[in-house]
Amino acid sequence: MADHSLNNKVVLIAGGVKNLGGLLARDLASHGARAVAVHYNSDASQADAQNTLEALRALGVDTHAWQADLTRAGAVERLFSEVKARFGQIDIAINTVGKVLKKPIIEISEDEYDQMFAVNAKSAFFFIKEAGKHLEDNGKLVTLVTSLLGAFTPFYAAYGGSKAPVEHFTRAAAKEFGARGISVTAVGPGPMDTPFFYPAEGADAVAYHQSAAALSPSSKTGLTDIEDVVPFIRHLVTEGWWITGQTLLINGGYTTK
């Protein structure tokens, strides 16, 4: 019988030093993980990486941070190889990396299109690939997508469109990795109260999103609180072993499947 606790588990979190990823790192460490490896992309996140490492060490877990541009397949391969070499195993891999663009289709440039698909689709594909190669049997693989996969809305063609392939990657990987007991899921939060959300939105759009969900009055800002997403993902990588090949949408306080 597989152990579905976090005891003695090694966790890798891409985009794991701030916002949702940083909170996940702390949460999984506090619930028994043996080691938590965190990734970040740019020099601008170095201070967040240091703060996260200090917080994880204070919780008594082994940890290390890697800086890498995951839009390069070789960088994803090196990340998994180096994490496994340092900690001996990888049991849980979570990819929170993403880039948002809110813009009418007729205004999106080729460069913007390429950037969105490199960050949101290409990096996710190769993260899933390397997880399939490196995860221990009965491992867990989670990718963050967006609730826009279940929405009918304008101006997010490049963002939602570049996240949409990950839903198929998830289903395919669940079939291919399932014989080893590996569960593969995608989680699509609604608009979250993080610095990732606000730069893409005007004041009117922010006000709309803060009141759009039925449970908006129950959250701190009306948006999805990252503190509410964390236990959901923790469940997927522990007790949710039977959920695989699915995209689970978390939209401003309610979930659909």
Least confident of 12-26, 113-127, 145-159: 145-159
Question: Rounded mean pLDDT of the chain?
Answer: 88
- Tens digits of per-residue pLDDT, 43-71? 999 999 999 999 999 999 999 999 999 99
For the cut 90, the answer to whether the pLDDT of residue 181 exceeds it is yes
Residue spans of beta strands (DSSP E) within the chain: 10-14, 35-40, 62-67, 92-95, 140-144, 183-189, 246-251, 254-256
Average pLDDT over residues 124-150: 95
Q: How confident is the model at residue 194 (pLDDT cuts 50, 70, 90)?
A: low
Q: 126-137 burial, b for 16+ CB within 10 Å, e for fewer? A: bbbbbbbebbbe
The pLDDT of residue 254: 39
The pLDDT of residue 151: 80
Q: Per CATH, which fold does 10-190+230-248 belong to?
A: Rossmann fold (3.40.50)
For the cut 60, the answer to whether the pLDDT of residue 14 exceeds it is yes
The percentage of residues in the chain with a pLDDT greater than 90, rounded to a whole number, is: 72
The pLDDT of residue 211: 52
Average pLDDT over residues 239-254: 78
pTM over the 0.85 mark: yes
Cβ contact 236:144 at 8 Å: no
